[in-house]
């Protein structure tokens, strides 16, 4: 029993360190964050911190893993639902992604300020790689395989196509953040964002051999709405 | 006249610094390279170096710009040729990209060793961004617009689609390098590479609304052959 209590305490301390690291990354950026700031902010000794993470790089990797695990865990019930068609799963996956971003608008607005800064190149690279390496095989590939079986999708390369689609979404997210970071009038910006989103959704439907509009409908306007409040801030 | 001679001397010195920096990046990686190593290798003073580049970051950006400019300059005659259809231009653009890589197999094999290392995250990010920002508007977008006019391509978003396609190619290149870096038997590796290349070429043709096989034919096997000699090294 003592072992379990220790495990729980270890895990809870580790989570607290990661929470504080996440706050520092949001506010001053990953490169700007120092191990010393982590120690000071948490009120622990250097030895205690190194007991959990042996380098700043290890903190980063744990942060990215935690974000990735949380995102995938939220999606698994959709992927595993035996009552849903592949197209329905795909739409719910997109809806779930939009919902997560809606629920975290403050965090996303904070992140946007530092996202494209030199201080976060490394974090961004890790996040992108981790998202690709999880989302493609664990979420998109099973949906695509099911769609091919059901005859609504048509591709000979489910695994590779999953990776291409995940890449298109990541590229779109990156381009949208860059677009929104510009200080311009909101209307032309929204139109440009809409064009970028429509181009990506059309590309994904075509790559899957799915009929036009079958995977995205009013979701396009939901994504456009999602990015507007941040511009109002 | 003195001015012109000065300009030429300035430019030639700048090129020499970049040549040496490129060699250091290939051998020890960007993060590992120090301004001191540049100074020592070139036999110049710190002041002289800072006359050309005020930071290591500035050296990196100049290196990336130089590579990008050279790549685009080689492609412009194809884009501007009034006697070629959009599909022909697209195929020649792919051929030219393959030819550049064939001519630089040694360099690419060197780069492959350090490409995915932690020491080159920043360089890789800069290169990817610079390639997207150039290739999409300067090479792919004009070809796509011409193809839409000629009726062989079908897309409402030429600029956005150009960016998506450039992103697919960059993602493929990155995935192929990662695949080849693994120490495995060559045959299954070649098959996996072929699957990745076919998935990407099919995706690009579909996104453009081009007929199947109209943009890539024996080029797929050319790309597969291109990556094999590096594995033999």
Query: In whole angstroms, what is the distance from residue B198 CA to residue B204 CA?
Result: 10
* Rounded average pLDDT over B3-17: 85
The B residues from 201 to 220 touching A (CB cutoff 8 Å) are: 202-203, 206-207, 209
Is A168 close to B168, i.e. CB distance below 8 A?
Answer: yes
Same domain flag for A12 and A86:
no
DSSP per-residue codes, B76-89: HHHHH-TTS-HHHH
Same domain flag for B25 and B66:
no
Is B157 close to A125, i.e. CB distance below 8 A?
Answer: no
* Rounded average pLDDT over B9-30: 88
pLDDT in tens, A23-48: 888 788 877 888 999 999 999 999 99
pLDDT in tens, A165-200: 999 999 998 888 888 777 677 778 888 999 999 999
- Say if B157 is an interface residue toward chain A (CB within 8 Å): yes
Same domain flag for B70 and B169:
yes
The A residues from 58 to 97 touching B (CB cutoff 8 Å) are: none
Is A121 close to B125, i.e. CB distance below 8 A?
Answer: yes
Same domain flag for A24 and A63:
no
Residue A96 has pLDDT above 80, yes or no: yes
Instruction: Find, in chain A, the residue whose alpha carbon is nearest to that of B197.
Output: A160
How many C-beta neighbours within 10 Å does residue A187 have? 8
Same domain flag for B28 and B86:
no
Q: Domain holding B40: CATH number? A: 1.10.10.60
- Say if A179 is an interface residue toward chain B (CB within 8 Å): no
Q: Domain holding A189: CATH number? A: 1.10.357
Least confident of A23-32, A63-72, A99-108, B20-29: A99-108
Same domain flag for B80 and B105:
yes
Burial class (CB in 10 A: 0-12, 13-18, 19+), B217: exposed
Same domain flag for B116 and B67:
yes
Same domain flag for B37 and B100:
no
Q: What is the ipTM for the molecules in this complex?
A: 0.83
Same domain flag for A68 and A179:
yes
Same domain flag for A79 and A124:
yes
Domain range for residue A11?
1-54
Same domain flag for A71 and A114:
yes
Into how many domains does chain A fold?
2
Which chain B residues contact residue A202 at CB under 8 A? 155-157, 207
- Say if B130 is an interface residue toward chain A (CB within 8 Å): no
């Amino acid at each position: 029993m003592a072992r379990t209590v220790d495990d729980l305490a270890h895990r809870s301390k580790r989570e607290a360190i990661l929470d504080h690291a996440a706050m520092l990354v949001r506010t001053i950026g990953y490169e700007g964050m120092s191990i010393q700031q982590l120690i000071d902010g948490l009120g622990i000794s250097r030895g205690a911190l190194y007991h959990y993470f042996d380098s700043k790089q290890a903190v980063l990797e744990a942060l990215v893993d935690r974000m990735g695990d949380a995102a995938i865990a939220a999606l698994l019930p959709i992927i595993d639902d035996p009552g849903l068609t592949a197209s329905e799963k795909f739409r719910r996956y997109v809806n779930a992604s939009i919902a997560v971003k809606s629920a975290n608008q403050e965090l996303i607005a904070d992140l946007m300020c530092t996202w494209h800064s030199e201080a976060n190149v490394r974090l961004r690279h890790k996040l992108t790689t981790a998202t690709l390496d999880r989302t493609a095989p664990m979420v998109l590939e099973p949906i695509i395989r099911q769609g091919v079986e059901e005859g609504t999708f048509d591709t000979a390369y489910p695994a590779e196509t999953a990776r291409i689609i995940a890449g298109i979404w990541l590229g779109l997210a990156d381009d949208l953040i860059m677009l929104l970071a510009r200080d311009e009038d909101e209307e032309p910006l929204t139109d440009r964002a809409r064009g970028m989103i429509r181009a990506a959704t059309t590309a994904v439907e075509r790559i899957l051999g799915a009929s036009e509009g079958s995977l995205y409908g009013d979701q396009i306007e939901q994504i456009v709405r999602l990015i507007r409040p941040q511009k109002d801030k």
